Structure 1
Amino acid sequence: MSASTPSWHLSLRERVLRNAGTAVGSVFTAVGIAGNILVMFIILRFPRMRTVPNVYLFCIAFSDLVILTVAPIIIHFYRVGRWIFGPGACEAESCIKFTSVFASFFLVSAFNVERYQVIMHPLETRHRQSLRKAALICLSMFLLALVANLPFCVTSIVVEAVVDGRNATVCRYFWPEWNSVPEHAQKARRLYLTSLGFLLPLCLNFTLYVLIIRKLRDQDAFRSAAGGQRGKESATAVTKMAAFVTATFIVCTGPYHMYNFISAVSDIHLSEFVGMWTKQLALGNSALDPIIYALMGTNFRECIKQLFCRRRPQAKGRPKGSRNEPDSGYAMVEIE
């Protein structure tokens, strides 16, 4: 198939697979955009939601939202089987997509480090925490992500390549001078992305979750921080949160990075459709983040009810069931 061959020349099987992938990616994109906008709006709308944990949550939602804004371009590329947007769009898509991908992983890691510090040293950490400090940390994560993305941002180029036995116009990432060794450049890019964007954050977050859960299961720590049943409830909530976050991260982004890793270190040929489906699935991580990080929180549910059900705010104090009481050492442990 040449670069000018229209999509209706694809076989029936290919059209079915591409249409199904388009549907899945479109659902993830629509749900993710709505969910992340809702999360950001609630944090800005309700003063009681402006807490240190929610600063991280706001930035994670923003990063996921940015990823989803370029998702239609990715979906369309796999829908028609070729790149039709030109070199400028290739560079812009690469800069936005990979910067946001790195930023999401870095922000989640920074947030979990903050939670780990709160668990291990609750009193000291609470005195050091501030909204400004959290915002500066998030900004530094975005800048770090931009630096990490430079190998993609400055090397994006539209080229003619053979994809599943056909010639097609694609957006690739390597220096023009590397045209004689494109396969080596592609393998290096895949290893770089998988190592920095998946393996390192996964190892760090998994280690932090294990340490957090072990600490919260320490009955003496429960009694000294929150006491009895309250401590057990906190332990259960954080355990579930850790399990959801870790499982979603692995299930949604793991196949894509496994596809990259296998393509980089072996001569096994994986079809374009494998890459297409793993990328569509990776969009699900951005779509599910609002549910995992926000909608499981007590205060978020209360704010959503107040926002959509026109509930009157309580006359005194915070919403019933809030875990943000100033005397609770575990107030910062859960997503608020």
Structure 2
Amino acid sequence: MSEWNATEDYYDDSYFNDNETYSPDIPTEFNKVFLTTLYSLVFILGFIGNGLVVCVLAKHRNQSNLTDICLFNLALSDLLFVFTLPFYTHYVSVGRWIFGGFMCRLISGSHQTGFFSSIFFMVVMTLDRYMIIVHAHRVARYRTMRAAIILTVLIWMLSLFVSLPDFIFTEETEDSHGFECDYPQNSTVWERYDLFTTNVLGLVIPLLVMVGCYSRIIPTLLTMRTTKKHRIVKLIICIVVVFFLLWVPYNISLFLNFLQERDIIPNNSSWYKNVRMSVTVTESFAYTHCCLNPIIYAFVGQKFMRRALQLLKRLVPGYGRDLSDSTFRRSSVMSRSSEVTSTFKL
């Protein structure tokens, strides 16, 4: 992502050559401590959580439906995303890129692909829930394995297409502090493209889809005579709120950074440092979303929890010996909401 230039800017004090009050040591220490620690935690938690999702769903692939396939690919997307974090963790800790030009393009493109594919699969899961709950009788026959595979391939192709500029134009460049990995300094077109795709495809459209679909889903669920409806409503609200709280501050910071570069808002040393710091901090917290996806979309499901505990019991001797399937027995629902249950109780 070109937003990583916020990191490089902390090591570039040319902007403040005439300002003696600027101290690059403060953000440098911030990078080494805060970002390194947070990225490491996101990598560990994201790898464990999404890895468990992949293992469980792969083991029960013969029983998969469209929701399971979307969950599987959502976990793969988040794994692809977190696998790039060790490289950026080293990048922000030492202040220079040491992995070469090829890895610069590969890691940057993979980072973008993981980001967009994760967002796109969340949108598909939202639309799938909407169609099942609001238009249950119309779409049941179309939710086939073939349709799920075709949809999966299309989403990955779209994610790769949107991320192509990072695979092609990101490069390793050298300055007084060493090598850095970013778009070339004169590539304003691709920086604007990155800002547009991140804000529109990464936030505005997904948020509109989620709010629009869930505003129809919740009233429909409340009319159903199911003991699980309140838990499902809380889950839906949690999905939207978490997505909104984690990604909106980051996208606002990116937009402020864009306005500052165009001199639309103040661009003095104080504003410059504050906006750059805001981009980096909000970006870091937004990345924690990949750790929360397994919890929000998978671990709240009773069927998935039962499968996960069974897998852990086989891998870890003595684990869960007191657990029985009756602990996770699912409540019955009226016939009209049977497909709803399979969607939410993964």
CA 187–285 in structure 1, closer or farther in 2 if over 3 Å, else same: same
Query: SS at the partner of 1:321?
Result: coil
1:239 corresponds to:
233
Instruction: Spell out, residue by residue over 1:134-181, the C-alpha distance to the aligned partner (whole angstroms, 9 max, x if none).
Output: 1221221111111111222211122346xxxx856322225xxxx5x4
Cα distance in 2 for residues equivalent to 1:313 and 1:11? 56
* Contact residue 306 and residue 313 of structure 1 kept, 8 A: no
Q: Residue type of the partner of 2:329?
A: K
- What is residue 278 of structure 1 aligned with on the other side? 282
> What letter is aligned with 1:244?
C
Matched, 1:140 2:154: yes
What residue in structure 2 maps to residue 81 of structure 1?
Answer: 95
Could you tell me the TM-score, scaled by structure 2's length?
0.79
* Mapped contact 1:84–1:169 kept (Cα < 8 A): yes
CA–CA separation in structure 1 for the residues paired with 2:189 and 2:295: 39
Q: Is the 8 A contact 1:103 1:142 kept in 2?
A: yes
Please say if residues 118 and 332 of structure 1, whose CA atoms lie closer than 8 Å, have aligned partners that are also in contact: no
The equivalent residue for 2:316 is: none
Relative distance call for 1:322 and 1:35 in structure 2 (3 A) is farther
* Counterpart position of 1:225: none
SS in 2 for 1:84: coil
**Mapped pair 1:334 → 2:344:** yes
Q: Which is worse superposed, 183-192 or 29-38?
A: 183-192
How big is the alpha-carbon RMSD for the aligned residues of Structure 1 and Structure 2? 3.0
Once structures 1 and 2 are overlaid, which stretch shifts more, 187-196 or 141-150?
187-196
Return 302-311 or 113-122, whichever deviates more.
302-311
Contact 1:298 1:321 in 2 (8 A): yes
Partner of 2:242: 248
More deviation, 26-35/304-313: 304-313
Partner of 1:169: 179
Per-residue CA distance 1:21-69 (angstroms, 9 max, x = gap): 2111111110110000101111122367523211110110010011001
Aligned mates of 1:156, 1:101 — CA distance in 2: 16
CA contact (8 A) 2:257 2:276 kept: no
Name stretches of at least 5 consecutive residues in structure 1 with no aligned partner.
Answer: 4-8, 223-227
1:115 corresponds to: 129
1:12-161 equivalent positions in 2, closer than 5 A: 14-46=28-60, 50-160=64-174
Q: Which amino acid aligns with 1:211?
A: R
The alignment partner of 1:170 has SS state of: strand
> Aligned partners of 2:290, 2:164: CA distance in 1, in Å?
22
Whether the 8 Å contact between 1:67 and 1:101 is mirrored in structure 2 is yes
TM-score calculated relative to the size of structure 1: 0.81
How many residues get paired? 309
Q: For residues 335 and 56 of structure 1, do their structure 2 counterparts lie closer, same or farther at Cα, with a shift above 3 Å needed?
A: farther
Q: Which position in structure 2 is the counterpart of 1:204?
A: 209
Counterpart in the other structure of 1:320: 329
Question: Which runs of 5 or more residues in structure 2 are unaligned?
Answer: 1-10, 14-22, 314-319
Tell whether the 8 Å contact from 2:306 to 2:325 is kept in structure 1 after alignment. Answer: no
| Corresponding residue for residue 221 of structure 2 | 216
SS at the partner of 1:102? helix
Q: Deviations over 1:235-265 (max 9, x none)?
A: 3233222222112212222232222211123
Instruction: Determine if contact 2:253/2:275 at 8 Å carries over to the other structure.
Output: no
Question: Please, which moves more after superposition, 296-305 or 126-135?
Answer: 126-135
Question: Percent identity, aligned pairs only?
Answer: 23
Does structure 1 retain, via aligned residues, the 8 Å contact 2:51–2:79?
Answer: yes
